[in-house]
Structure 1
Amino acid sequence: MTDGLPALIPGPLAAREAGVAPATIRKWVQLGRLKPAGRAGRAQLFRLEDVFAAERAVRGTARRVR
């Protein structure tokens, strides 16, 4: 049972859901395009909606460059 908070997922799962490589998630964090919402040990955890927002922003930028 959840308390209304969004689920947090690890980077590799977030990458799979967004259709990108895990290294892409790490790069987005380095570049400040995505911020981890928590940690589980050493693993960074993300909100899926944040990952999708970062993915949309990157794709939108790529379209404008062409």
Structure 2
Amino acid sequence: MNIKAIGAYSATQPLEPMDITRREPGPHDVKIEIAYCGVCHSDIHQVRSEWAGTVYPCVPGHELWGVW
């Protein structure tokens, strides 16, 4: 499954549109169509790798609004 996202490929690159390939939902997953996503201060720290453990590409945001 391909999704469109806004993220960064490294800590020094700006956020940009990207396509990401994800696995298909399994029998115990819920597929949600995300309409909006809030990006807060902590998300920016994570995408800039100012906190340990950032994996790239990194798509910031953890406050989601959508429908399932």
The question of a shared fold, defined as TM-score above 0.5 by the shorter chain, is answered with no
Q: Which has the larger radius of gyration?
A: 2
Q: Which has a greater percent of strand?
A: 2
Q: So what's the TM-score if we normalise by structure 2?
A: 0.26
Q: Which has a greater percent of helix?
A: 1
